[in-house]
């Protein structure tokens, strides 16, 4: 669930206070005002469970969708690499894919540094 039980307690406290101050000026007996305030607080306390559940349901992202998005991303990358006539290594998991990506980036940086060194030697 989203949040904690403190949201429930805050909701109950706010409901209790609102009901108490709204009915305080009306010609009700003090016992009726206090009992009504407690009832409103208890109702809102339990309603907050439903609200917290709905918020967590809306914000929940299942892991299956992430795999689909990653699969689409890998398909797009493979389509781009096929245009360049290069072979792409297939990764079994996202960790391996990230490792391969970092290795490729490191290799590109090394090649660029070597080209800079060669160009500086040729110019100097």
The whole-angstrom separation of Cα 46 and Cα 53 is 11
C-alpha distances in Å from residue 124, one per residue of 22, 95, 112: 86, 43, 18
The whole-angstrom separation of Cα 1 and Cα 59 is 10
Q: What predicted TM-score, i.e. pTM, was given to this entire model?
A: 0.47
The whole-angstrom separation of Cα 71 and Cα 78 is 10
Mean pLDDT by 10 residues, the chain (124 residues): 82 96 90 95 95 89 64 60 52 53 83 80 70
The whole-angstrom separation of Cα 74 and Cα 91 is 9
- Which residue ranges make up each domain of the chain? 5-59, 93-124
What is the pLDDT at residue 91?
47
């Amino acid at each position: 669930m989203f949040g904690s039980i403190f949201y429930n307690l805050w909701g109950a406290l706010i409901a209790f206070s609102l009901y108490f101050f709204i009915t305080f000026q009306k010609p009700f007996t003090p016992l009726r005002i206090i009992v009504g305030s407690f009832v409103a607080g208890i109702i809102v306390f339990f309603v907050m469970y439903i609200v917290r559940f709905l918020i967590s349901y809306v914000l929940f992202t299942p892991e299956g969708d992430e795999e689909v998005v990653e699969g689409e991303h890998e398909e797009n990358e493979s389509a781009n690499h096929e245009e360049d006539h290069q072979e792409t290594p297939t990764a079994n998991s996202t960790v391996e894919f990230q490792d391969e990506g970092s290795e490729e980036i490191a290799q590109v940086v090394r090649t660029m540094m070597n080209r800079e060194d060669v160009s500086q030697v040729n110019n100097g």
